[in-house]
Amino acid sequence: MNATQQWAPGGILDLSGARNSLARCYTETRKTTESICRPLSAEDQMVQSMPDASPAKWHQAHTTWFFETFLLIPNLRDYQPFHSDFQYVFNSYYKGLGAHPNRSYRGLFSRPALEQVQQYRAYVDQHMMTLLETGDLHSLRGAIELGLNHEQQHQELILTDIKHAFWSQPLRPAYTQPTLSPESRERALSWFGFDAGVYNVGFEGDGFAFDNERPRHQVYLNAFQIASRLVTNSEYLEFMNDDGYLRPELWLSDGWDTMNAQGWRAPMYWEHQGDEWMTFSAAGMQRVNPHDPVCHVSLYEADAYARWAKARLATEAEWELVAANVPVTGNFLEDGYLHPIPAPDREGSPQQMFGDVWEWTASPYVGYPGFKPASGAFGEYNGKFMSNQMVLRGGSCVTPTSHMRATYRNFFPPHTRWQYSGIRLAK
């Protein structure tokens, strides 16, 4: 099954037109979420395999809660919420809106049933169409754009979370059928150099961006080089075979302690069976392809590998400088692989800057100079997480294409491995 058959084109968010264009974007984005969940049973959609993950049913309800809470209740006259308890049950972390359940308990929500969550989505969608037909789009546009991009984030999370859930089960079920990837061979790694200087980074313009991408500002960068492609499985295996997980001189202190406490000896989802390495993918267990980008590694592992390779991770400003001159093309959700694939055979610019895997950077997640969180509850979306997290860039094979841009900043704690995260070297 190819990507166009499996998912509606919800990655196409052209919000520049009139009401019908905005309504179409809303409808396609919502349909994409439902298409992603269609292969899942009601039982699948209730599973929460770890505290950092959420059930697919909860993702569908929470994204609906977002539109109901921030758009319908304050802006649609005589709107009646679908269910009085849902304002509490499906609030994720917005303290300014009241109490919410503990995140780690979401897998206990056998009620509301999946059927009722689907009715909730249909109810909110119907009223959103009314708001899009009658509301003041000039004043509502920002909240609508945020809601659509928020839903795209949860589309990606549904796929990362269900992968972990299926891997955690003894039957190791597959989410999808295997998809043939392009020709598999390793491309030689080369380096692209950039001069020292003062550069502009951060978002500037009239299109959508999250508040943490602003304001655009100047940074001084020393001369640096960046690798032409992502680190591959075969290269990471060399690190493993050279006792990379047993050499404390390669590891940050917290990384060494975390790695040993968790018993890491390979990327997440890898298993040694006989004489070969296997990995769990959206298509089930499969042999590790040596030419695919290494995936599901933590910041600690990425940093240790870079030290072993006598290189380092790029800062996010360095990464953005490179990516700003590269087209936003790559292996995304719509391509249907749901797995990293080998670098294309092209020259002239760094490859795989977008798609395949989120690239760990050496930069802590903090606000840019002059950063101000959005006013009201929207201010809780990004700003309050600017502590103990690291920045990742570029998107992954489960990111909707239109969700990505060179200034996009993702962030996770350094021990995180269940996301599609990988490595690009710099020096």
C-alpha angle 220-221-226 in degrees, rounded to nearest 5: 160
> What class has domain 191-426?
alpha beta
Question: Is 419 in contact with 390 (CB distance < 8 Å)?
Answer: no
Question: Is 27 in contact with 124 (CB distance < 8 Å)?
Answer: no
The token pair that represents 369 in the structure block:
């100079």
DSSP H stretches of helix in 185-331: 233-241, 253-262, 299-308, 316-323
Q: How far apart are the first and last CA of the chain?
A: 41
Mode of pairing for the β-strands spanning 197-201 and 191-194: unpaired
Share the mean pLDDT of the chain: 93
Beta-carbon neighbour count of residue 108 at 10 Å? 12
CA pair distance 167, 173, nearest whole angstrom: 7
Residue that is written with structure tokens 């592992």 in the block: 301
Residue 221 has pLDDT above 90, yes or no: yes
pLDDT digits (tens, 9 = 90+) for 137-157: 889 999 999 999 999 999 999
pLDDT digits (tens, 9 = 90+) for 172-220: 999 999 877 776 777 899 999 999 999 999 999 888 999 999 999 999 9
Q: E strands within 64-120?
A: none
pLDDT digits (tens, 9 = 90+) for 3-60: 333 444 334 455 445 567 889 999 999 999 999 999 999 999 999 999 999 999 999 9
User: What's the confidence (pLDDT) of residue 2?
Assistant: 34
Residue 67 has pLDDT above 80, yes or no: yes
CA pair distance 315, 106, nearest whole angstrom: 35
Host H or E run for residue 5: helix 3-6
DSSP H stretches of helix in 38-113: 56-67, 73-75, 86-89
Question: Is 226 in contact with 386 (CB distance < 8 Å)?
Answer: no
Tell the CATH topology of 3-167: Four Helix Bundle (Hemerythrin (Met), subunit A) (1.20.120)
Question: Is 383 in contact with 409 (CB distance < 8 Å)?
Answer: no
Instruction: Find residue 284's DSSP bridge partners.
Output: 281
Helices and strands, counts by H and E, the chain: 11, 15
The token pair that represents 344 in the structure block:
């294309």
Question: Is 337 in contact with 331 (CB distance < 8 Å)?
Answer: yes
Q: What percent of the chain has a predicted confidence (pLDDT) above 90?
A: 84
DSSP H stretches of helix in 168-291: 233-241, 253-262
User: What's the confidence (pLDDT) of residue 10?
Assistant: 39
User: What's the confidence (pLDDT) of residue 98?
Assistant: 84
DSSP H stretches of helix in 135-232: 137-167
Q: Is 82 exposed, middle or buried (0-12, 13-18, 19+ CB in 10 A)?
A: buried
What's the chain's Rg over C-alpha atoms? 21
CA pair distance 328, 354, nearest whole angstrom: 6
Report residue 270 CA to chain centroid gap: 21
CA pair distance 109, 103, nearest whole angstrom: 11
**Cβ-based neighbours of 384, under 8 Å, separated by 6 or more:** 373
> Helix, strand or coil for residue 399?
coil
Host H or E run for residue 130: helix 114-134
pLDDT digits (tens, 9 = 90+) for 360-412: 999 999 999 999 988 888 887 888 889 999 999 999 999 999 999 999 999 99
Helix 299-308 vs helix 253-262: crossing angle, to nearest 10: 120
Q: pLDDT band at residue 109, thresholds of 50, 70 and 90? A: very high
| For residues 320-335, average pLDDT | 96
pLDDT digits (tens, 9 = 90+) for 124-141: 999 999 999 999 988 999
Give the dihedral sign, CA 251/254/257/262. Answer: negative
**Cβ-based neighbours of 5, under 8 Å, separated by 6 or more:** none
| For residues 98-104, average pLDDT | 88
> Helix, strand or coil for residue 197?
strand
Mode of pairing for the β-strands spanning 330-331 and 354-355: parallel
pLDDT digits (tens, 9 = 90+) for 237-268: 999 999 999 999 999 999 999 999 999 999 99
Residue 166 has pLDDT above 80, yes or no: yes
Q: What percent of the chain has a predicted confidence (pLDDT) above 70?
A: 95
Mode of pairing for the β-strands spanning 421-422 and 358-364: parallel
Identify the DSSP state of 170.
Answer: T
Residue 119 has pLDDT above 50, yes or no: yes
The residue extents of the domains of the chain are 3-167, 191-426
CA pair distance 267, 240, nearest whole angstrom: 10
